[in-house]
């Protein structure tokens, strides 16, 4: 699996794990490097960890803004899950 999640993230897998790779610009500013954010045994765990990571990285200064970011992230991930289920023939 190699699914793009927005501009900087990719959901990837092999036979044993699922992980998210995050792109960032190296200190020299010229190359795009990918960093694995963690390995997970299930898609659900991986996506929950991604939501948690975005919450921790949030710069929201009010609860309302944080809730809005969480809802946006969950909506984006729900779309991805729907696409994955459609590919697998699952309802």
Q: Where are the beta strands (DSSP E) in 1-91?
A: 2-5, 9-13, 18-25, 32-40
Residues 6+ apart with CB under 8 A from 61: none
Question: Per-residue pLDDT for the chain (91 aa), expressed as one digit of tens each?
Answer: 888 877 888 889 998 999 989 888 877 776 677 888 889 998 888 888 888 888 888 999 999 999 999 888 888 877 777 777 776 665 5
pLDDT computed for residue 90 by the predictor: 53
**What are the sequence ranges of the domains in the chain?**
2-88
């Amino acid at each position: 699996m190699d699914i793009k999640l927005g501009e900087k993230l990719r959901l990837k897998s092999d036979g044993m794990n699922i992980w998210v790779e995050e792109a960032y610009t190296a200190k020299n500013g010229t190359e795009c490097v990918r960093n694995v954010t963690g390995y997970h045994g299930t898609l659900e765990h991986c996506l929950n960890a991604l939501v948690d990571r975005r919450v921790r990285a949030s710069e929201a200064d009010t609860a309302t803004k944080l809730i809005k970011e969480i809802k946006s992230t969950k909506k984006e991930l729900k779309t991805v899950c729907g696409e994955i289920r459609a590919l697998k023939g699952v309802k």
